[in-house]
Structure 1
Amino acid sequence: MTAEPNDAWVEELLRLQDTDSKMTEKQMKILQAAVDIFAEKGYAAASTSEIAQKAGVAEGTIFRHYKTKKELLFSIVGPLIAKFVAPFVLREFTPILDAPYDRYEDFVRAIAKNRLEFARRHLPMLKILLQEIPFHTELREQFKTVVLQEIYARIERVIIQFQKAGQLVPLPPLTIVQLSASALVGFLISRFLIFPEQEWDEEQSLESVVQFIMYGLTPRSHTP
């Protein structure tokens, strides 16, 4: 029986695979099984034998399609970054980045809510990216080039706008992005990876993150 992707992004990944011919049913099973196991265990702890078992194929079948486990990983993450993550992130993110805001706080809150929903819907993909990008230079550089440069340029303009309005401390825009992103990403990692079983008041937790960011970035003359 053909493996059915358990999320829309997996189906999209299969469609975007850059191959000369259609993927076989066995390749689709292998890819789906690899996504599930890489997301659950991480690349280093995953074995091709358990991927084969989950896919319902012989282990040798994997190596007929992918020479190494790393090639299998790259066949997932490479297209995810180049063809799916970048356009998908930008497609969902662009309205947030381009909307008018009266305060930087409102901008941060909109981004936080947007990324929370994105993480909830695409958790397996994000797990693989978070787990593997720090350990694979090629993936890290590809991610920085394809995604971060596009997004950072837009956010930098917003930061400069609010600095000119006196709403943000006069730190370099990159520093402000790093500080804001550290707090938000830390919250998302805690919510979905470290303490997923804990009961969360997401609205209150997210608001606490926003206020934490703003406390550090608001000029003292603007604090209540």
Structure 2
Amino acid sequence: MPQHQEPLEPWLEALLHTEDRKFTDKQLKIIEAAVEVFSQKGYAAASTSEIAQMAGVAEGTIFRHYKTKKDLLLSIVTPMMGKLLAPFILNNFNDVLEKDYPTFEAFLRAVLINRLAFARKHLKIIKILLQEIPFQPALKEQFIEHIGAKIFERFQKIVKHFQDKGELLEVPTLAAIRFAISSAVGLFIFHLLLAPELPWDEEQEIEQTIQFILHGLASR
């Protein structure tokens, strides 16, 4: 690993330890700058000249390592999806998903607390994924392969379990999951991405989100 004067962010430190290839100091600066610019402006509005300026390198240096801006984006996100985010999400999340909960409400509370902490810790990468997955087929395929399918499978079993107990409506499990996840993601997007400067009571917001989901899914 090259010498780096500033402490590395957790996601980048983890990425370096999951990648087989060596990174030069300039590559590290380019990756850090790219994540910063992509997360702030989105892929379409980001420019390689701005990334180069933030990294303190010539723009040509970027193209010596990455043929296009899209190659730069994929070189960051693709290995993170398969080698970093997927293990982080699934290994850390499995502690929550594999437990037995007395109620669906208890399950929701554990998921929201766990995922909010994760999203806050890896906010820049989460922003890039949320912004780019709908528009980048390669990223979408990676997400479904490494993360989405595995989480959906476990969620289906949990929803079906509480439906069998009579706690949730007998609706298609995917519909129930879609409703719950959209509510949870909406909470994260609003408070972490759209309006992070607004004051909010995290515990209260989590409880309100839980009640909103339950009132839409509860059988009584």
Distance 1:48 1:5, change over 3 A: farther
| Cα shift at 1:194 | 1.0
Aligned to 1:172: 172
Alignment-mate amino acid for residue 101 of structure 2: Y
Aligned to 2:174, the other structure's residue is in SS state helix
Distance 1:131 1:3, change over 3 A: farther
Name which of 6, 9, 17 aligns with 2:11.
9
Residue 133 of structure 2 corresponds to residue 151 of structure 1: no
| Cα shift at 1:160 | 1.0
Aligned-CA RMSD value = 1.3
| Cα shift at 1:3 | 5.9
The number of residue pairs the alignment matches comes to: 218
Q: Does structure 2 conserve the Cα–Cα contact (< 8 Å) formed by 1:104 and 1:167?
A: yes
Gaps of 5+ in 2: none
| Cα shift at 1:55 | 0.8
Query: In 2, Cα distance between the equivalents of 1:175 and 1:118?
Result: 25
Alignment-mate amino acid for residue 12 of structure 2: V
Aligned to 1:191, the other structure's residue is in SS state helix
| Cα shift at 1:211 | 0.3
Aligned to 1:204: 204
Alignment-mate amino acid for residue 92 of structure 1: N
Gaps of 5+ in 1: none
Query: In 2, Cα distance between the equivalents of 1:107 and 1:138?
Result: 32
Q: Does structure 2 conserve the Cα–Cα contact (< 8 Å) formed by 1:3 and 1:28?
A: no
Query: In 2, Cα distance between the equivalents of 1:65 and 1:16?
Result: 19
Query: In 2, Cα distance between the equivalents of 1:214 and 1:73?
Result: 38
Residue 26 of structure 2 corresponds to residue 54 of structure 1: no
Alignment-mate amino acid for residue 157 of structure 1: K
| Cα shift at 1:6 | 4.5
Equivalent runs, 1:34-113 vs 2, <5 Å: 34-113=34-113
| Cα shift at 1:159 | 1.0
TM-score normalised by structure 2 residue count: 0.95
TM-superposition CA deviations, 1:49-82 (whole Å, max 9, x none):
1111111111100000000000000001101111
Q: Does structure 2 conserve the Cα–Cα contact (< 8 Å) formed by 1:3 and 1:29?
A: no
Query: In 2, Cα distance between the equivalents of 1:5 and 1:150?
Result: 33
Alignment-mate amino acid for residue 39 of structure 2: A
TM-superposition CA deviations, 1:117-151 (whole Å, max 9, x none):
11111100101101111110111011011101111
* Identity over aligned pairs, percent: 51
Distance 1:5 1:24, change over 3 A: same
